[in-house]
Structures are given as C-alpha cells and as structure tokens.
Amino acid sequence: MLSFCPATSDDLADIVKLERYLFAPEIAFGHARWRELLRAGRCETWLLRDREGALMAYLSVLPHRGWRRLVVQTLAVHWKVRRQGWARWLLGEVIRRSHAEGWRGVRLEVSERNEEGLALYDALGFRIMTHLPDYYGPGHHGQRRVLAP
C-alpha cells in the first residue's frame, strides 16, 4: 500500500529523481522549476510513497483563479506501480476537490504520444480543448484537455 502526503521542499531531490527517470529531458521540469512550484505556495504537490518511503507517484496542481480551474502541472507514476489505478485515484482527488470548492473544472496538457494518459483522460471525461503543435518540442504535439463539472 502507498501512503499519501503533501510535498515540501524537503522532497525536491526525490521528485526530480523520479521526474528524470520518467520524462525525457526536454519535457522534465528540473530542479529550478520544481523549487519554484514547491516554494510558491500557490501550487500543491501530492506524493505517493511506498512502505520504504520511496516516491512512487506525484501530482502537482495549480489553482488558476482567472480561469477558475484547477490546472494539473504534472502527473507521474513509477513503472513499478503503473496500471494499479494510482493516476486515476490522484486525478479523482483533484476532480472531487474541483467539485467541492466550486471550480469550473480541471485543465491539463498531455503529449499526443502518451497513449496511456490519453486513454485515462478520455475515460475520466476530459475533452480536447485545443491541439498544441510542437508543445513538447519539434514534431512532439500536445493537447490541452478540460474536464468541466
């Protein structure tokens, strides 16, 4: 079983290590971006750790008052616990919060190469808002998706 907790700046090294393991360098946020996200106070990052304390997944969400949406900044799940429902569970927590706090929905961006992510977002009801040509680099397109209440 995994434990769920909010991230702090003390978690920076673990987050960056998992990020570098899971994402290509041109997509990964890196130390500077993560320091900003963890320090800003506006962005919330939630962690899932295994019994030994190893980081298995994280989700970072930014409340955007202008759009009145919760914006998923990044979601990552270690291959050791993939296909066990953890990404769905983390997104479910964001969706429940969105409804409970009266947000207009949840927004995220996803690579068009991320077949598992696209299938999950489709299953949860996220709809394509716009296509993002070269969003993740030349020839690596993305989609902006939104789940409205």
- pLDDT, tens digit (0-9, with 9 covering 90-100), for 82-138: 899 999 999 999 999 999 999 999 999 999 999 999 999 999 999 999 999 999 999
pTM over 0.85, yes/no: yes
**CATH code assigned to 3-147:** 3.40.630.30
Which H or E element spans position 121?
helix 115-124
- Say if residue 1's pLDDT is above 70: no
Which residue has 């291959």 as its token pair?
79
The CA distances from residue 134 to 14, 27, 114, 139, 147, in Å, are 29, 12, 14, 5, 23
pLDDT of residue 26: 81
pLDDT of residue 40: 64
Residue 38 main-chain phi, psi, to 5 deg: -75, -30
Which residue has 């899971």 as its token pair?
22
- pLDDT, tens digit (0-9, with 9 covering 90-100), for 11-65: 999 999 999 988 888 888 888 888 888 886 678 999 999 999 999 999 999 988 8
